[in-house]
Amino acid sequence: MGDRIFTQEEIENMRDTVIQHDMRETNKEFDLNKPPVKSYKYQEFPRLMYNHAVDSCQEACSQEEMDEMIEAGWSTSPGSVVTAAWPKEVEQPDQDDTKPRRGRRR
């Protein structure tokens, strides 16, 4: 474009094109505190595989890799959730004891 000289009509057409483009782009408003996010799209892979024998997990990136891991003893389920039991020497709190208590005012 260095040596080409544009006519006044071409310059005005380019300006109109730029103004139309800017108008389309500036009409999109969004909250800076909550920027737009892409909607979730399900993807089968990568998928997390679990080995309960050694208590570890690893990603499977394809169906073939997942099949190999299943044959090697890996699982697709995370297993049961282990809940911590209260020690016998500590009493379990009653329903009323779980409410926050207010201290005495001095």
| CA distance readout (Å), 98 to 44, 88, 92, 94, 101 | 42, 19, 10, 7, 9
Q: Is the pLDDT of residue 90 over 80?
A: no
User: How would residue 32 be classed by pLDDT, with cut points 50, 70 and 90?
Assistant: confident
- Residue 31 is predicted with a pLDDT of 80
How many CA atoms does the CB half-sphere of 12 hold within 13 Å? 3
Mean residue pLDDT of the chain comes to 79
49 C-beta neighbours (distance < 10 Å), count: 20
Q: What is the pLDDT of residue 36?
A: 79
Does 29 have pLDDT greater than 60? Answer: yes
Does the pLDDT of residue 98 top 60, yes or no? no
pLDDT at 61 (0 to 100):
93
> Taking a C-beta distance cutoff of 8 angstroms, is the pair 49, 69 a contact?
yes
pLDDT exceeding 90 applies to what percent of the chain? 28
Residue 22: phi, psi to the nearest 5?
-65, -35
The confidence score (pLDDT) of residue 19 equals 87
